[in-house]
Amino acid sequence: MRARRLVVPFLLSLCGPAAAQDSGIYIEFLWSRTPADALARQQTRQFVMTGDHEHQICVAATAATGDVGGLQLELRDADGKRVSLQHHDDYRGAKRCYRADLGSGGRPGDWTAHVVLGDGGSNTATIRVDPRLEDAPLFQQRDVPYVAGRPNYGASIAPEQWAGRLVWAMDVDPQGKVTMWRSKWPKAWVNACATVPSPPAT
């Protein structure tokens, strides 16, 4: 049995910016709805069709008039077929997040979020969508740890106390199966961080 130590400075795989920033319209994907008191948002590269995760699509836009005149948000599956269409006539341009309507029967793969504003501005961004997390290519990549979301930083901890190092350690047998999983982080983080899912056993 061999041990492999992984020092994770922040996020890997599913996390990190998956956003479009062209045309003055910013599109961002979140794994779940951000609590009002959260100090960090859960950006993601992956949505799943099953479970109640409250995936979010966020939009921020700039306009010379200060009012973009509404928002249309369309989601298309890997075949380019429309899965859902939302209209938000009260959208004025400031960043807002909307629940991702994944519909039913969409083909898994890279989906496209297409945003059209009332003033004619538009932009698109892509997000990976699979039936379950276990079906996602990133999940099946056995040599890369995955995190669905980001730690939820507790407001009770002073900013300077967040300095530290998170270490993940896995024991892997000759067949590539994870036989033991351990994590280690500063004591101050213990009650403030969200649960991090373990890597898949192969």
- Determine whether 47 is exposed, middle or buried from the number of CB atoms within 10 Å of its CB (0-12, 13-18, 19+): buried
Q: Which two tokens stand for residue 183?
A: 């994590």
pLDDT higher than 50, residue 7: no
Q: How many CB atoms lie within 10 A of CB 51?
A: 9
Instruction: Kindly report, residue by residue over 57-110, the tens digit of the pLDDT.
Output: 999 997 666 789 999 999 999 999 999 999 999 999 999 999 999 999 999 999
pLDDT confidence of residue 19: 56
Q: Which residue has the higher pLDDT, 145 or 4?
A: 145
Reported confidence tier of residue 112, pLDDT bands at 50, 70, 90: very high
CA–CA dist 143, 152 (Å, integer):
25
Instruction: Kindly report, residue by residue over 157-182, the tens digit of the pLDDT.
Output: 777 776 767 677 777 777 767 777 67
Q: Which residue has the higher pLDDT, 158 or 195?
A: 158
